[in-house]
């Protein structure tokens, strides 16, 4: 590693690698740092993403696409499900291979990539971030940069070291637990399955994301308030769910973690620094999904970095363009999405049962059809949905 770069990106997940790739493509001298010895491991998500948003950055490749999704089932507590048609609109990834490919793309565009390089602090001059300190293979380095892009995940320390508040209240988190399981038989291996209602996952939902006919990511997210109230953890709830619905499954791997879903607008840049992905709490507050949003943020951050360096201005005001562009393209939808979540999690299980009773045998449904029926039972959703319609979401 050199002692100075135009841009140092911390974290080689989808957001960090995308930022490094586009920054290098725009002619910047870029260093991409990953604290682990292998990019993409361990897998820490359900691995699902929309096909169209992915194509904005890279064409799907069978090497890292485990399954193409053509429909989804939404199960109510009574066991009936609503089937939504979505031919080819979703993909289940092999994140280990996918993440590594994104880092390879960054390297192909000219970025320097280093694994097992843990950032231990930030360099600052006054309020301006000017680089990072790194422990790489047991040696300490001071790496100067005109701009640092922090993409170091939900437990991000870079942003905090730099003085940005990334903390959230416990009630504004989802706690998720997931197994990769084998030895199951799925009727439709090209369909994602969602389970809604308190009987399945209090304050959240459960999912089955197939990777092939007998292999799937099965997990759920719950509100931590459920654990405080009952003592039952997300893993306890998942084990109960597995025992009922997939008792013969063999667990290949597991992951447990927190997802910030507060949906709040917060500063994600300052002089010399931009924060992307889970580090900036950019996961969708409705679904908890974060791959696509991290990649969008990474691309925007790279473009803002290139413009700032061309102008010789890395001040807080110059990098505020990143905040504005993120909010305009994605972040402004978070508030109404969060409002919908807060409304829906208060529904009794009977609401979902009635909805499934009305829709379970209707062919060729889409998400808009479901919302139309739901609005009749809960007009309070109208305001939040109206905001999303105005933004072009439907």
298 and 349 both lie in a single domain = no
- Residues 36 and 129 both lie in one domain: yes
Q: How many CB atoms lie within 10 A of CB 353?
A: 17
**Full residue range of the structural domain in which residue 26 is found:** 4-45+96-168+264-329
The confidence score (pLDDT) of residue 238 equals 97
* pLDDT for 267: 92
Q: Is 60 part of any domain? A: no
The verdict on residue 324 lying in a domain is yes
**323 and 340 share a domain?**
no
Instruction: Tell me the pLDDT of the chain (394 aa) as tens digits.
Output: 899 999 999 999 999 999 999 999 999 999 999 999 999 888 878 899 999 999 999 999 999 999 999 999 999 999 999 888 889 999 999 999 999 999 999 999 999 999 999 999 999 999 999 999 999 988 999 999 999 999 998 888 999 999 998 877 777 788 999 999 999 988 889 999 999 999 999 988 999 999 988 999 999 999 888 999 999 999 999 999 999 999 999 999 999 988 887 777 889 999 999 999 999 999 988 888 899 999 999 999 999 999 999 999 999 999 999 999 999 999 998 888 888 788 778 888 998 888 888 888 887 776 666 766 666 655 555 444 454 444 454 4
- The answer to the question of residue 257 being in a domain is no
Kindly state whether residue 88 falls inside one of the protein's structural domains: no
Q: Do 324 and 342 share a domain, yes or no?
A: no
Q: What is the CA radius of gyration of the chain?
A: 21
- What are the Cα distances from residue 62, in Å, to 92, 98, 329? 11, 10, 29
Whole-angstrom CA distances from 162 to 124, 129, 277, 325 are 8, 7, 17, 22
My answer on whether 22 and 126 are in the same domain is yes
Q: What number of H helices and E strands is found in the chain?
A: 12, 16
Q: Are 281 and 321 found together in one domain? A: yes
Q: Domain boundary residue among 305, 329, 353?
A: 329
- Spatial separation of the C-alpha atoms in residues 142 and 120, rounded to whole Å: 10
Q: Do both 115 and 150 map to the same domain?
A: yes
Query: Which residues, 6 or more positions from 299, have their beta carbon under 8 angstroms from its beta carbon?
Result: 18, 19, 22, 57
Strands 269-270 and 273-275: antiparallel
Last residue of a domain, one of 300, 329, 358: 329
> Is there a domain that residue 85 lies in?
no
- Tell me: do 271 and 352 sit in the same domain: no
Is residue 243 included in any domain, yes or no? no
3-state secondary structure of 13: coil
- Provide the edge-to-edge strand list for the sheet that holds 173-182: 48-50, 81-93, 65-75, 191-196, 205-212, 215-222, 173-182, 250-260
**What are the Cα distances from residue 78, in Å, to 83, 241, 308, 338, 360?**
15, 14, 55, 26, 11
Q: Are residues 269 and 154 part of one domain? A: yes
Please, which residues have CB within 8 angstroms of residue 167's CB and are 6 or more apart in sequence?
A: none
Q: What is the pLDDT of residue 272?
A: 98
Which ranges constitute the DSSP H helices of the chain? 14-25, 51-55, 95-108, 158-161, 224-230, 234-245, 291-311, 316-329, 334-344, 349-359, 367-377, 381-390
Domain count, the chain: 2
- CATH code: domain of residue 13: 3.50.50.60
Judge if 40 and 106 occupy the same domain.
yes
Please check whether residues 39 and 102 belong to one and the same domain.
yes
Do 374 and 306 lie in one domain? The reply is no
- Whether 293 is in a domain gets the answer yes
What number of other Cβ atoms are within 10 A of residue 167's Cβ?
10
Burial per residue of 120-156, b for 16 or more beta-carbon CB atoms within 10 angstroms, e otherwise: eebbbeeebbbbbebebeeeebebebbbbbbbbbbeb
User: Given the structure tokens 């009305």, which residue do they identify?
Assistant: 358
Instruction: Please tell me the predicted confidence (pLDDT) of residue 174.
Output: 86
Residue ending a domain, choose from 329, 354, 369:
329
């Amino acid at each position: 590693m050199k002692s100075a770069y135009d841009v140092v990106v911390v974290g080689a997940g989808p957001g960090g690698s995308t930022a490094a790739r586009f920054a290098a493509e725009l002619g910047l001298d870029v260093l991409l740092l990953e604290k682990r010895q292998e990019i993409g491991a361990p897998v820490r998500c359900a691995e699902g993403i929309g096909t169209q948003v992915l194509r904005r950055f890279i064409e799907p490749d069978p090497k890292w696409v485990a399954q193409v999704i053509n429909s989804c089932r939404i199960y109510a507590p009574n066991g009936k499900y609503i089937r939504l048609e979505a031919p080819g609109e979703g993909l289940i990834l092999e994140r280990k291979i996918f993440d590594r490919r994104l880092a390879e793309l960054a390297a192909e565009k000219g970025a320097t990539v280093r694994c097992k390089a843990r950032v231990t602090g930030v360099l600052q001059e006054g309020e301006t971030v000017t680089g990072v300190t790194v422990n790489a293979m047991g040696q300490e380095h001071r790496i100067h940069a005109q701009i640092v892009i922090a993409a170091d995940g939900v437990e991000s320390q870079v942003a905090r070291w730099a003085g940005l508040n990334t903390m959230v209240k416990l009630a504004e988190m989802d706690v998720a637990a997931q197994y990769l399981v084998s030895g199951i038989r799925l009727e439709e291996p090209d369909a994602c399955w969602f389970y809604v209602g308190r009987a399945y996952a209090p304050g959240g939902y459960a999912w089955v994301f197939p990777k092939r006919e007998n292999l799937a990511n099965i997990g759920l997210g719950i509100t931590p308030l459920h654990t405080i109230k009952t003592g039952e953890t997300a893993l306890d709830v998942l084990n109960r769910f597995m025992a009922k619905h997939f008792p013969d499954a063999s667990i290949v791997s597991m992951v447990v973690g927190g997802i910030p879903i507060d949906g709040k607008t917060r500063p994600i840049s300052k002089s010399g620094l931009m924060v992307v992905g889970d580090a900036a709490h950019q996961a969708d507050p409705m679904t908890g999904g974060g791959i696509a949003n991290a990649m969008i943020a990474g691309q925007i951050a790279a473009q803002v970095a290139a413009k700032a360096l061309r102008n010789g201005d890395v001040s807080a005001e110059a990098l505020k363009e990143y905040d504005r562009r993120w909010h305009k393209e994605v972040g402004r939808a978070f508030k109404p999405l969060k409002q919908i979540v807060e409304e829906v999690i208060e529904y009794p299980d009977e609401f979902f049962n009635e909805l499934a009773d009305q829709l379970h045998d209707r062919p060729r449904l889409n998400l808009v059809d479901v919302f139309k029926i739901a609005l009749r039972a809960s007009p309070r959703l109208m305001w939040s949905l109206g905001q999303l319609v105005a933004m072009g979401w439907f």
